[in-house]
Amino acid sequence: MLINKTSYRPNKSLSKYVDRIYVLKHSREFKLPAILPGAGLELLFHTHEPLLMNNHKCDNAHIICPRNSILHIDESSEVSFISVRFKSGAFRHFSSIPYLELNNQFASVQDIWGSSGRGFLEKLDECRTINDKIKCIESFLLECLCGFHDKQNDKWDTIMYSLYKQYNSISLKELAAYTNLGYRQFERNFKSQFGITPKKIQRIIRFEATVKKILLNRNPEYLSTALDHGYYDQSHFINEFQFFAGEKPTDYFITKNYDHHFYDKSIKAPGKY
């Protein structure tokens, strides 16, 4: 395996918002897989040359938040980075920049946090080990959480969590009723929080969950999995897949993509640095 990827549980105080922190090292001999649209956000810290994604030269530290289209990675040297994978909608607790301005963008740490971001990167650069870098990143994120977290918005975490876990069965009108809002007002408030409509994020979550299940199970008979995840029929899944990935499922579900992708199983036990 030429992709070396190690995942860690985040600091306990971050675990409500961060799914995992992982370290990826990759040889040039195999091209890194494309990143498909999803409901999360990742904060990357490159320890070698930054990546070139969709012909965009990334900064040394930046977010990726693909919602509408696939990200293709072009490599010119050895790839090595630390990534913080945030849960759906959770990054808004760490910055004042609305999601509407982050979705589908490559905003750098300095774009997001200004002078405090620059100071943090200087400290991070002084860390010599991966363990120390991870601790430095966590410390900075805890400071951001303390500074930007608004408890009045916590109820929207419950909404997003319910949608993420029950996307196949939950009614958006039921979610609106939970917030004691009319549906149109609920939709506006949801978009204000997450930069996207609840119906669109529901589609993205279903797409992401379906592709993840197929790849992790290495299941070439993808249609049964698609139907289990709420697609009406084969045509429905093909259309959605082409919308998000830009190609047909039969072209994507091939050996190289089963072998190399960015999806992970849940971490069952506490990680150790």
Separation of alpha carbons 64 and 53, rounded Å: 10
For residue 59, is pLDDT > 70? Answer: yes
Instruction: Give me the torsion for CA of 159, 163, 166, 172, rounded to 10°.
Output: 90
Specify the CATH number of the domain 3-148.
Answer: 2.60.120
Q: Spell out the domain ranges in the chain.
A: 3-148
User: Which has the closest alpha carbon to 187: 209, 156, 230?
Assistant: 156
**DSSP state for residue 236 in the 8-state scheme:** H
Residue 270, number of CB atoms within 10 A of its CB = 9
pLDDT tens digit sequence for 208-264: 999 999 999 998 889 999 999 999 999 999 999 999 999 999 999 998 899 888 999
For residue 42, is pLDDT > 50? Answer: yes
Q: What is residue 229's predicted lDDT score, i.e. its pLDDT?
A: 95
Alpha helical stretches, state H, the chain: 109-126, 130-148, 154-165, 172-178, 183-194, 198-216, 222-228, 234-245, 249-252, 255-259
